[in-house]
Amino acid sequence: MSQPNESLSTAEVNQDPLFLAQVHRLHQLTVYGRWLFSSALWLTVGAISLWGLRYPISLAIEDFTWASLRYGLVFNRLPAFGLFLCLGVTLAILVWQLRNWLFGLPKSERRRLEQQVLRIRQQGNSHPLWKWICLKDEKRGVKDEG
């Protein structure tokens, strides 16, 4: 029974420009968080993987063949897995962001962001993201009144 009440409050709040700005800010934080995760992955796992592949890379720089690349990756499975993990995460983020840029946010993702903003608003300043999502708007409102 709480479903209809939540959908009514979501429908009413969707028209509020302040709410839409908060949803956009949450989406930006999601994007920044994904790129931060990818960067951290490259700085840790990627660096260790490239260090583990330094000898096959040096051989490939001297005389590149597809066979040397294949054997360098096959016989160094753990560094190859780390490198492919970093590449996979980076490409997944790029494809996700390109899809959002070209076609806009899907309705399901927009609804998830809206519900999350409503939960953040409901919980108040005890929520870890509250100061990033809602606090700026409250400060702006105080400046406009005073």
Mean pLDDT by 10 residues, the chain (146 residues): 46 75 93 97 97 93 90 94 98 96 93 94 89 74 44
Q: Looking up tokens 């309705």, which residue turns up?
A: 107
Longest CA–CA span in the chain (Å) reads 71
Q: Counting every residue, how long is the chain?
A: 146
Asked if 134 contacts 121 with a C-beta cutoff of 8 angstroms, the reply is yes
pLDDT at 9: 55
pLDDT at 4: 42
pTM (two decimals): 0.79
pLDDT at 17: 86
Distance in angstroms (rounded) separating the CA atoms of residues 118 and 105: 18
pLDDT at 142: 44
pLDDT at 125: 87
For residue 65, what is the enclosing H or E element? none
Distance in angstroms (rounded) separating the CA atoms of residues 14 and 131: 21
pLDDT at 113: 94
